[in-house]
Chains A and B, each alone.
Chain A
Amino acid sequence: MTLQERFIAAFVESDRWKLYISGLGITLEIALFAGIIGIIIGTLLALMKLSTTEEGKPTLPNYIATIYIDVIRGTPSVLQLLIMWFIIMASSNNGILVASLSFGINSGAYVAEIVRGGILAVDKGQMEAGRSLGLSKWATMRYIILPQAVKNVIPPLGNEFITLIKETAIVGYVSLTDLTRVANQIASRTYDAFMPLIGVAVIYFVIIKLLTIFLGKLERRMRRSDIR
C-alpha cells in the first residue's frame, strides 16, 4: 500500500474522519466539564486550606482539604476513573458525566494548590487594609483578594487544563470513544496503526498549540492593567 492509500483508508474511507471529529468532541467535552468542576472544587479547597481562626490556628475545613488533596494526588487518575465508573457511580451509564466528575475531582486537587499560591501571592497589605475598614475576612477575600489572585493563576491554570486534555486519553478504559480510542478502533479495522495514531497525535498537538496561543494572549491582556 502506498502512503496515500493508507491515508485514505485511515481518514477518508467509510467517512472515518467523522469518527475522529466525534472522538475529539468527546475529549473536549470531558476536558471542559472537568475543567469547570476542577476550578470550582479547587477554589473551594484553596479557601478551606487557607482558613484559620482569628488566632491563626488551622480549622476543621483546613484539615478536610488537606486530606482530600493528599488522597487525590496520592492515587493514579486511571484508578480514580475506574473506581468512579465501577463502584461509586456504577448505576450510571452516562460515561461522559462519570468521566467529567472523576477528572474534575482529580483536577480540583491540583487547582487547589494553584489557587492557594495565587492568593498567597497577593500582597498581605490588601487583606490588612480590608480588615482595617471593618470588612470580614470573607468579604475582603471576595472583593479584593480573589479578583487579584485570578491574574496570578491564569498561566498555571492554563497549564493544568492542557494536562487535563491529554489525561482524558484514558477514558477508553470506561468504554468512551474519545479521540485516542477512535485511533485504536480504526487501527484495528484497517490493520494499520501508523496513520490513525500519528493523525490523532497531530490533532492533540494542534488543539493544545491553539490553546497555548490563546492563553498567551489572555495573559498579556491581563498584564496590561499592571502598566501605567
Chain B
Amino acid sequence: MISVKNLCKEFKNTDGSVTKVLKGINYEINKGEKIVIVGPSGSGKSTFLRCLNLMERPTSGHIIFDDVDITDPKVNINKVRERMGMVFQHFNLFNNLTVMQNLTLAPVKLGIMSETEAKEKAKGLLERVNLLDKADVYPISLSGGQKQRIAIVRSLCMNPEVILFDEPTSALDPEMVGEVLDVMKQLADEGMTMVVVTHEMGFAKEVATKVLFVDEGQILEENTPEEFFGNPQSKRLQEFLSKVL
C-alpha cells in the first residue's frame, strides 16, 4: 500500500550545517497492517511518519502510495492526503470551529460529502467515542483526551485508507491515555491500516502487526511484537527496551 524507498531527510541549520535526520529508509506497509514505530527521542521516527503524507518533504527518496509516487511534484498532494488521515501529538483541533464544524469542514469543502451526509457521519462517529454531547462546543472546553478522540474522529470523517498517528498520547495527562488508546484499538480491530509513532509499549505489544525500532535515522530492527520485545537482536534495542520497559 505504501512503500518507502531510500527515504532521506536533511534539515539545514541556521549556521549552514546540515543535520541528516533520515538516512535512507526502506519499508513496505501493507493494507490492514498496524505498524508501531518506537525509538529514542530525536531518532527521526516522527520525521519518518510526517514524510509519509509529505508534511515534511523528503530530501531524496520516494514514497509510493497505491502505485503513485507522491514525491513527484506533479502529483496533487491534497488529493493524496484526503485518503491518508493524520492524528497529531497536540491534537490541532481548529480552535475557531465547534466540534461538529471541525469534523465536517474538510469533507464538505472538498466536495466528498454533502453537509447533511457529513453531519450524519460525524454524529455516528461521535456517538461511538461517547462524545455526541460535545458536538456544539468549542475545542477549548474539552479535556486533552476528549480533544484527541475528536481529532481521531475528524480524520475518520474523511474515510481514510490509512491513519498516521504522531505520538497521539504524549501530550495527555496519564489518566486520559487509556481512553485514546481504546479508540485506537477499536480502529485496529476494524481493520484500519495504521502507522503509529508512540512511547506506549503496551499498545505496541497488543495491537501492532510489526514494530519498528528507529534510531539515528535508520530502521535498526523490525519484527513482530512477540519477537521484538521477547528477543531483541541489536544492542541498541536491548538498551532502549531496558530503559522503557
Contacts and interface: CB of A to CB of B under 8 A. Distances in A.
Interface size class of B (residues with CB under 8 A): 20 to 34
B172 interface: no
Contacts of B78: 131, 134-136
Nearest to B96: A147
B137 to A, nearest CB: 10
A214 interface: no
Interface string A55-91: 1000000000000000000000000000000000000
A188 interface: no
A144 interface: yes
B138 A129 contact: no
Contacts of A139: 109
A138 to B, nearest CB: 11
Contacts of A132: 53, 55, 81, 84-86, 88, 155
- Main SS of chain A's interface residues? helix
Which of B81, B138, B141, B158: most chain A CB closer than 10 A? B81
Interface of A: 54-55, 123, 125-126, 128-136, 139, 143-144, 147-148, 225-226, 228
16 contacts: A54-B73, A125-B92, A126-B92, A128-B88, A131-B81, A132-B53, A132-B85, A132-B88, A133-B155, A134-B80, A135-B109, A139-B109, A143-B105, A148-B96, A226-B140, A228-B140
Interface of B: 53, 55, 57, 73, 77-82, 84-86, 88, 90-97, 105-106, 109-110, 138, 140-141, 151, 154-155, 158
